[in-house]
Structure 1
Amino acid sequence: MRLGGRLAAAIEVLEDIGRRHRPVADALKDWGLSHRFAGGGDRAAIGNIVYDALRRKRSAGWLLGEDTPRAIGFGALLLEWGQTAQSLNDALDGDKFAPPLLTAPELEAIAERRLADAPDAVRADIPDWCAPLFEKTFGATWADEGAALATRPPLDIRVNTLQANRDKVLAELTGTGAKPAAIAPQGIRIPPIDGDGRHPNVQAEPAFQKGWFEVQDEGSQVAAALSGAEAGMQVLDYCAGAGGKTLALSAAMDNRGQIFAHDAEKARLAPIFDRIRRSGNRNVQVVTKPAELAPLGNHMDIVLVDAPCTGSGTWRRRPDAKWRLTQRQLDARKSEQSAILEATKAYVKSGGLLVYITCSVFDEENGEQVAAFRHRNSGFVPVDHRALWDSRFPGHAAAARIGPAGDVSLSPALSGTDGFYFCALRRSA
């Protein structure tokens, strides 16, 4: 397929997403199934246009004067693919599968508008109702932080030290562009792709099948490392999901001690069993029933709560989610977070840690949630997060935002990671 056919297909997928309010991955999968003539390169390019259009929906729409699927599809190519209005019309001219060429009003809008002059929420590529949330969290730099969340993400890998080391994995990934991660000591990063490129399928590598590494954002790796799990500890990963942080904690503990992996939704835990077998993690017990959790009360050195949240910190990877998010959903997540914190405090032993993590950048889900919990529970006190950060990641003081109340925040603009929040509370009584 030529660029015109790929753009037309991307517009079709964007129309489907808008009409049926469905996740982008589902819409792309269905398009591929109904257009089997499209090769892997075509599907990758179409997916890139769709994802770019959703990441840059506000700025792409502003550039062309409207936010229709057509406008944001064209806008994505202008903003992310190095195209100009002239080069696009030249590429599409004479292609019977291409959408109509840019119109005179569209060409005029593109010529007259500069993104630097756009409203802040447009430059940030976020819904208007989220702008106060970003400003509250980031202050004067909030539009830049939003814009960073609208960029293409890298592919991050965590080396499984139970099976390999970073040099060994890097040697296996020669030719992929893989380099050591900037912060996480066991992290590897493959840079964001350009244009119609695609990341290598690292999960097809023999090294992955042998359990040498897992795909995990560097921010998630950092949060796991900050929790301080060590050999011999008793740890409860209360919202374990597919087990990414569980496996990271297990490796940090060198398979000694115990990790109890729990999730209220059993289906979320399903992938963890294969991951445990492949990675050689032997100190993980998966627990799902309340009766299995009861004996853990007041016995855990660390209780890790990777809380359900809006996922606003992951919008680089899931850009469709930011356009579906509502205030009602945010309120529901906040209610869940509060209930989970209250439920998990009972498992922390005296002197132990309650570690609260989200992949959100909203203070309502982060600092405010911790402050409300501490108001209800005076026996939980934040550790010295600056000292904790400097001890774990010396030389990277500028890569994290350390809050005055004692917490750590990561973001694409500041840290080069997804957006993450971390707070460790020590139980004093």
Structure 2
Amino acid sequence: MFTMRCGASSPSSGAWMPTTRALAFGGLLADDGMDIEMVDAALHGDRFAPEGLDAARRAAWQSRDLATAPAHIQADVPEWCIPSLEELFGERWVSEGKALATRPAVDLRVNSLKATPEKTLAALEKAGAAPAPFLAQALRIPPIEALGRHPNVQGEQAFLDGWFEVQDLGSQLAALFAGVKPGEQVLDYCAGAGGKTLALAAAMGNSGQIHAYDAERARLSPMHERLQRAGVRNTQVYGGLDELGPLAGKMDLVLTDAPCTGSGTWRRRPDAKWRLNEQQLERRVQDQQDVLDSARRFVKPGGRLAYVTCSLFAEENTRQVARFLGENPDFKEIAPQTLWGTVVQDDSAGKPVFPSHGSVFSPLSTGTDGFYVSILQRQN
């Protein structure tokens, strides 16, 4: 999303004024790679089209210099987000913000319970799929250009047969960082629609047991169909927290994909950043504390608690882990650099950011959506 230097003023950014009309034209001219003549031609004859750019605004666009804009305008993020991003990324926060405004690829996770990467790749050749970086079981369809559209891969027979799932590479990496092993007892405490549940089941080879739960019961609705399509047989879905009582102190792994602001997914939902506010962030931080404090009781001695968000805000990530470790001395963090080396054999395509706690995947560092993951082990 772009703003246009229109000679107007605003309290936060001087001559950079994010009017709706300017944002619309800026999106077409910058994000969609069109020039002014192409925009004029596309709007010509449309009685619902906005008024075209006059000579002054055409000149303003052609002479624009984003480098002179305030940092949050360059980064394309709300100004109040600066401290949250800067705490996590330091001086590179502007570059991280810019990367969050780029177009994402479509990533696929090959379901090893039903197919191989080679078999799935052949089935999706016309969709433009290719091997993704980092993980052998991942495929990628490149970002679209201009006004193009991604193919509807969920209409492919290979998808209907359960050969693959649409899942961002960052989410796939986060699930594998948990280090799940065949035969383990696993609680997916914030399972939602089951994306990471399916990834864990495949990594476990359908052995052991996955207990899937979500406080918002309605979010679990799609999971049953997804489990059946993927051929998953080691997962039990729970409808109420009281049903989890017998699992206390018995889990090898508890995965908490905690509720968050979703700031790491702004590439896919660019409008969300402008609807988010500080009060919503505060509520999510409290939600995350509640989830962590509740989930810890299910981890057995020697077991692992995986804390995951799709946020790039320090309040939801490093600060949460620091607070939890300070209040729970029986948990210790597993070195994130060690986990990365275990999960990924070739990191020539990028590496996570390793802040004070955990690992951060981002569009800039790993070419993925933004994810945070920290693995905490309960001491014997």
TM-score computed with the length of structure 2 as normaliser: 0.94
Q: Deviations over 1:290-325 (max 9, x none)?
A: 332000000000000000000000001111111111
- Say if 2:93 is the partner of 1:150: no
Change in 2 beyond 3 A, CA 1:187/1:267: same
- Say if 2:85 is the partner of 1:134: yes
What residue in structure 2 maps to residue 119 of structure 1? 70
What residue in structure 2 maps to residue 8 of structure 1? none
Change in 2 beyond 3 A, CA 1:356/1:63: farther
**5+ unaligned residues in a row in structure 1: which ranges?**
1-55
What residue in structure 1 maps to residue 333 of structure 2? 382
Letter in 2 for 1:73: A
1:287: how far off? 0.9
Contact 1:402-1:409 within 8 A present in 2 as well:
yes
Aligned match for 1:285, one of 225, 236, 251: 236
Counting only pairs closer than 5 Å after superposition, residues 9-408 of structure 1 correspond to structure 2 as 56=1, 59-62=2-5, 66-89=17-40, 91-93=42-44, 96-396=47-347, 398-405=350-357, 407-408=358-359
2:306 aligned counterpart, secondary structure: strand
Letter in 2 for 1:402: F
Change in 2 beyond 3 A, CA 1:98/1:252: same
1:83: how far off? 2.1
Cα separation, 1, equivalents of 2:212 and 2:46: 54
Cα separation, 1, equivalents of 2:264 and 2:160: 29
Contact 2:354-2:360 within 8 A present in 1 as well:
yes
Cα separation, 2, equivalents of 1:87 and 1:281: 50
Letter in 1 for 2:354: I
Identity of aligned residues (%): 50
1:384: how far off? 1.9
Letter in 1 for 2:88: T
Cα separation, 1, equivalents of 2:19 and 2:167: 34
Higher relative contact order (CA 8 A, sep 6+): 2
**5+ unaligned residues in a row in structure 2: which ranges?**
8-15
1:399: how far off? 1.6
- Greater than 6 Å deviation, 4+ residue runs: none
2:49 aligned counterpart, secondary structure: coil
1:372: how far off? 0.2
Q: Deviations over 1:307-345 (max 9, x none)?
A: 000000000111111111111110000101111111111
Cα separation, 2, equivalents of 1:252 and 1:267: 26
Letter in 1 for 2:17: E
RMSD: 1.6
Contact 1:60-1:71 within 8 A present in 2 as well:
yes
What residue in structure 1 maps to residue 10 of structure 2? none
The count of aligned residue pairs is 371
Cα separation, 1, equivalents of 2:46 and 2:291: 56
Cα separation, 2, equivalents of 1:97 and 1:304: 49
Q: Deviations over 1:335-363 (max 9, x none)?
A: 01111111111000000001100000011
Q: Deviations over 1:143-174 (max 9, x none)?
A: 11001111111111110000001111110001
Cα separation, 1, equivalents of 2:69 and 2:300: 52
Contact 1:243-1:272 within 8 A present in 2 as well:
yes
Cα separation, 2, equivalents of 1:305 and 1:91: 47
Contact 2:5-2:61 within 8 A present in 1 as well:
no
Cα separation, 2, equivalents of 1:141 and 1:66: 25
Letter in 2 for 1:129: W
1:86: how far off? 4.1
| Greater fraction helix | 1
